[in-house]
Amino acid sequence: MRSEVRKAKVAGVGSFVPEKVLSNSDLEDMVDTNDEWITTRTGIKERRVVEEGMSTSDLAYEAAKLALADAGLKAQDLDLILVATATPDHLAFPSTACIVQDKLGAKGVPAFDLAAACTGFVYGVSVATQYIETGAYDNILVIGAETLSKIIDWEDRSTCILFGDGAGAAVLTPTEKGGILSNLLGADGAQSQVLKVEGGGSKNPLSQSIIDEGLHYIEMEGNPVFKFAVRILGRAANEALEIAGLDDSDIDYLVPHQANIRIIDAAAKRLDLQKEQVYVNLDKYGNTSAASIPLALDGAVKSGDIKEGDIVVLVGFGAGLTWGATVIEWS
């Protein structure tokens, strides 16, 4: 186990989702699909979508306020704000983190975005951990927020059934007991084309032809993504545990990326976990990308499933392809 005296801990969590619910039965009226097909293959029953005019920073701001309150801190106490998102308010700049900073009134606090898709929150926690362990900063706000409904082709039944909007946040602070024991990150750019948004960046700048071809929407090759996810979730968790000097028998609670119930079940089986040791809210929110893990973590904490002293593993995967895991001794 790592020996630093100063570690980082999760001092507060919060989450926020839009009011509008889009159920599987609603989707039956939009595309050729049905509730049984979606539920059987994904575990999703409904998802939340933003109303017109609501942006990612709006969701992030609401989750941030709740996390700060849970940590007993004010925005002015923060030393850094990180926002993990694949759906920023603006394509280039300003960063969504800067917009959230202004909304919070955290004047002068450094803020920047992270882009690691669904693994973004774990990447953010890893970055924040380094700042705290080195003593550079004390109070760091890490947010995962998405409005994926903005980049979904609602006529593509292979993707529109999967994703939802939401935000989750965590405040990290120093601790000398417990806290974050390890972080494990990885990426495989050779598989970057299996999950992507082709249009809108410097390679294919947004234009009328890009819009006409639908290249500004999410494109996914389902089979390779599924196979990758089944392999990587359990492996990433095991590697992070090994860094912390632990193994899968030490896990008390798993908070996985909420992408597909079959992927979650495969990870739980590999880690030899019982159903009650794994948090799932996929049925209510679908895949919310970078918001998925913090949204689930907030739910697990608020429900009392995670207790003082528990060994908690956060683990996810995403476009890039990326993956990551964080091991926490909850304190």
Catalytically active residues are: 118, 257, 287
- Based on its alpha-carbon atoms, the radius of gyration of the chain, rounded to whole angstroms, reads 19
What is the longest distance spanned by two Cα atoms in the chain?
Answer: 57
CA distances from 228 to 63, 137, 320 (A): 30, 35, 12
Q: Angle formed by the axes of helices 222-243 and 261-270, to 10°?
A: 30
- Residue 140 · residue 68 · CB < 8 Å: no
DSSP 3-state assignment of 152? coil
Count H helices, E strands: the chain?
11, 13
CA distances from 153 to 48, 159, 263 (A): 16, 7, 24
CA distances from 297 to 142, 197, 258 (A): 13, 27, 11
